[in-house]
RNA sequence: GGAGAGGUGGCCGAGUGGUUGAAGGCGGCAGACUCGAAAUCUGUUGUGCCGCAAGGUACCGGGGGUUCGAAUCCCCCCCUCUCCGCCA
């Protein structure tokens, strides 16, 4: 049967489909220098920046070719009409003369279409490789060192003993078993046991309840496998194929990946749709496992639950009208933060610098939770506003209100998402922040109804 | 896995190879009638691409083919439904 293949680095061509123009081609053509300046802000490489000029050039050539082809088609259509009439009138030789002209035109049309096909494929591939533009007010910078702290909450607890890393805490309690996990799938996997497993399951219920009951999200359950085209829609493909696990065999005829985050299937739910303005905003919350190859992260966070090939996450996804996405982003961040506050975990929020903002995002706020053993804040949530970047890729539109109460032309929606929250890393934070001198771990109040215990002690 | 049926506009549903982007109905929108509403009547009501525009062009699940011309004919694929088998 179908096996899971090794992550691959060669970009898989996703099936061609509609959309695929990443940045607004008109906007690119109108002011390529502005686009290039923005790409420079996010430290795009020279090849990427060169793609802008290539797009301008290809788009221009495309227009001419399309026009010539359409004129030939128009001629063919009218000639065909005439031929029909001539046949009916029995004027065969006149019909034959027109047939000859159509045949000639068809030859040229075929040439043009071959040329157009190649040109459009290159245009598409080039456009898909361009990252989103970062917002103007995103802080200038090259890396996470340039991120700007925009908020902080809680006070790290003071310990009268040396706080242990989560691995020591969990293994000592018998709720975390990395050795046995390694027997099954090698490094970067975990096995939870007893109240450890229950605690993780409780976090899922807790976050889902929080967001559905208090924050207005609709819960969805989705496939954990997606076709390549879907991963292209959110921006994982074509550039980051190596970050995902790919099935060794096509599924239902198409190249298929394990989801790296619920963002991918959930954001794509409404691809190729035109949503009514009244339907917006859409707010989805979705619990899924997440599979990541972690290619290129060898040696980083090798121990424990912080960086693993499989973890669980509750994800928040929004689809909004363009004018509402800034407010939605603020709400999204607040909703994710609320998860940490209810669990009484200290955190800070960081506005990512231009160089640290991910490929698809226009702006991103990371939430970082305090880990006592590392005396450091570690990322638990990236809340991003993608503006219309993903929507263009997946042809996700809505119908804005038009002039005088009439309906307007379909326009691209905005999409956003953020973790709310990842179970593994939150579990790490709980084990570390709530550990006691005797090795037990106190369960925060908010989780006690879910866990059915107020503490995890040795022997539980 | 085996056998069969089917995929047409927001929905239902016609469609003989040639004014069919697509009849008809429902729904939606606008107007008339009304004090208002219902009912009725009239009109209108898809999306992409090229173009300043006028306009042109493409799209009837997807792709290929036949033809001067394809929603209509042929081939391949995908999806949905029914029955059988298997299975959580």
Instruction: Give the model confidence (pLDDT) of A82-103 as tens digits.
Output: 998 888 888 888 889 999 999 9
pLDDT of the residue at A18: 32
pLDDT of the residue at A22: 57
**Shortest CA distance to A150 belongs to which of A359, A329, A358?**
A329
Q: How confident is the model at residue A451 (pLDDT cuts 50, 70, 90)?
A: very high
pLDDT of the residue at A3: 39
Which residues fall within 8 angstroms of residue A399, CB to CB, at 6 or more apart? A274, A275, A276, A277, A407, A408, A409, A410, A411
pLDDT above 70 coverage of chain A, percent: 94
pLDDT of the residue at A4: 42
Q: Is A344 a catalytic residue?
A: no
Cβ-contact A167, A302 below 8 angstroms: no
- DSSP state at residue A138: S
The pTM (predicted TM-score) of the whole model is: 0.92
Task: State yes or no: pLDDT of A216 exceeds 50.
Answer: yes
> One of A188, A292, A363, A397 is an active-site residue; which one?
A292
Phi and psi torsions of A14, nearest 5°: -70, 150
pLDDT of the residue at A291: 97
pLDDT above 90 coverage of chain A, percent: 82
Task: State yes or no: pLDDT of A413 exceeds 90.
Answer: yes
pLDDT of the residue at A15: 31
Complex ipTM: 0.89
**Cα-Cα-Cα-Cα dihedral sign, residues A84, A90, A91, A92:** positive
Task: State yes or no: pLDDT of A113 exceeds 60.
Answer: yes
pLDDT, mean over chain A: 91
Task: State yes or no: pLDDT of A343 exceeds 90.
Answer: yes
pLDDT of the residue at A333: 98
The secondary structure element, H or E, covering residue A57 is helix A46-89
Q: Is A26 a catalytic residue?
A: no
Phi and psi torsions of A276, nearest 5°: -75, 145
pLDDT of the residue at A17: 32
Strand B interface, protein residues by Cβ within 7 Å: A 18, 25, 59, 62-63, 66-67, 70-71, 73-74, 76-81, 83-84, 87, 99, 102-103, 106, 252-253, 274, 397, 399, 405-406, 409-410
Helix axes A166-173, A423-433, angle to 10 degrees: 80
**Shortest CA distance to A339 belongs to which of A434, A420, A432?**
A420
Provide the positions of strand B that have an atom within 7 A of a protein CB: 18, 29-30, 47-51, 55-58, 68-69, 77-79
The pair of structure tokens assigned to A201 is 């399951």
Gap from A31 CA to B62 C1', Å: 36
CB atoms within 10 A of CB A249: 12
pLDDT of the residue at A7: 34
Which residues fall within 8 angstroms of residue A151, CB to CB, at 6 or more apart? A337, A348, A349
The pair of structure tokens assigned to A350 is 């960081």
> One of A382, A384, A419, A440 is an active-site residue; which one?
A382
Q: Is A180 a catalytic residue?
A: no
Which residues fall within 8 angstroms of residue A125, CB to CB, at 6 or more apart? A238
Residue with tokens 């709400």: A331
Q: How confident is the model at residue A23 (pLDDT cuts 50, 70, 90)?
A: low
**Shortest CA distance to A366 belongs to which of A337, A328, A331, A324?**
A337
Report residue A70 CA to chain centroid gap: 37
Radius of gyration for chain A, computed over Cα atoms and rounded to the nearest angstrom: 27
Task: State yes or no: pLDDT of A30 exceeds 90.
Answer: no
The string of pLDDT tens digits covering residues A220-278 is 999 999 999 999 999 999 999 999 999 988 888 889 999 999 999 999 999 999 998 88
Assign residue A458 a region: left if phi > 0, alpha if psi is -120 to 50, beta otherwise? beta
Task: State yes or no: pLDDT of A13 exceeds 80.
Answer: no
Gap from A276 CA to B10 C1', Å: 11
Which segments of A334-404 are extended strands (E)?
A: 347-351, 363-371, 376-387, 397-399
The string of pLDDT tens digits covering residues A361-380 is 999 999 999 999 999 999 99
pLDDT of the residue at A2: 36
Q: How confident is the model at residue A29 (pLDDT cuts 50, 70, 90)?
A: confident
Task: State yes or no: pLDDT of A404 exceeds 70.
Answer: no
Angstrom distance (rounded) from CA A389 to CA A409 = 19
Cα-based angle A225, A426, A339 (whole degrees, multiple of 5) = 95
């Amino acid at each position: 049967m179908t096996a899971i293949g090794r992550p691959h680095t060669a970009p898989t061509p996703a099936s061609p489909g509609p959309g695929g123009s990443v940045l607004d081609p008109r906007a690119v053509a109108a002011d390529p220098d502005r686009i290039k300046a923005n790409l420079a802000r996010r430290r795009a490489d020279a090849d990427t920046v060169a793609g802008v000029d290539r797009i301008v050039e290809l788009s221009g050539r495309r227009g001419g070719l399309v026009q010539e082809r359409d004129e030939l088609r128009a001629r063919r259509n009218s000639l065909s009409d005439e031929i029909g009439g001539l046949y009916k009138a029995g004027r065969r030789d006149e019909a034959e003369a027109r047939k000859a002209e159509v045949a000639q035109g068809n030859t040229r049309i075929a040439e043009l279409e071959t040329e157009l096909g190649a040109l459009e494929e290159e245009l598409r591939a080039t456009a898909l490789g361009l990252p989103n533009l970062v917002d103007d007010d995103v802080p200038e910078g090259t890396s996470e060192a340039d991120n700007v702290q925009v908020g902080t909450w809680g006070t790290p607890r003071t310990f009268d003993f040396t706080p242990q890393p989560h691995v020591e805490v969990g293994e000592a309690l018998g709720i975390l078993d990395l050795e046995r996990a390694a027997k099954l799938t090698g490094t970067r996997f975990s096995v939870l046991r007893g109240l450890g497993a229950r605690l993780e399951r409780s976090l899922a219920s807790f976050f889902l309840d929080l967001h559905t009951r208090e924050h207005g999200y609709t819960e969805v359950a989705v496939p954990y496998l997606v076709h390549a085209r879907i991963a292209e829609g959110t921006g994982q493909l074509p550039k980051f194929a190596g970050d995902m696990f790919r099935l060794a065999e096509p599924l239902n005829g198409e190249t298929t990946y394990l989801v790296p985050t619920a963002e991918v299937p959930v954001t794509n739910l409404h691809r190729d749709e035109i949503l009514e303005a009244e339907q917006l905003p859409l707010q989805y919350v979705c619990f899924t496992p997440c599979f990541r190859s972690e290619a290129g992260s060898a040696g980083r966070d090798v121990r424990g639950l912080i960086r693993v090939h499989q973890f669980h996450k509750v994800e928040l996804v929004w689809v909004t009208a363009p004018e509402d996405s800034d407010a939605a982003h603020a709400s999204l961040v607040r909703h994710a933060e609320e998860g940490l506050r209810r669990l009484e975990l200290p955190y800070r929020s960081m506005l990512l610098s231009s160089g640290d903002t991910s490929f698809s995002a226009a702006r991103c706020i990371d939430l970082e939770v305090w880990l006592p053993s590392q005396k450091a804040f570690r990322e638990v949530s990236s809340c991003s506003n993608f503006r219309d970047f993903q929507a263009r890729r997946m042809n996700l539109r809505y119908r804005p209100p038009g002039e005088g109460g009439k309906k307007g032309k379909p326009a691209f929606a905005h999409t956003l998402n953020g973790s709310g929250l990842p179970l593994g890393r939150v579990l790490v934070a709980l084990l570390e922040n709530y550990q006691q001198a005797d090795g037990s771990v106190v369960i925060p109040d908010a989780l006690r109804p879910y866990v059915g215990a107020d503490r995890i002690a040795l022997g539980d």
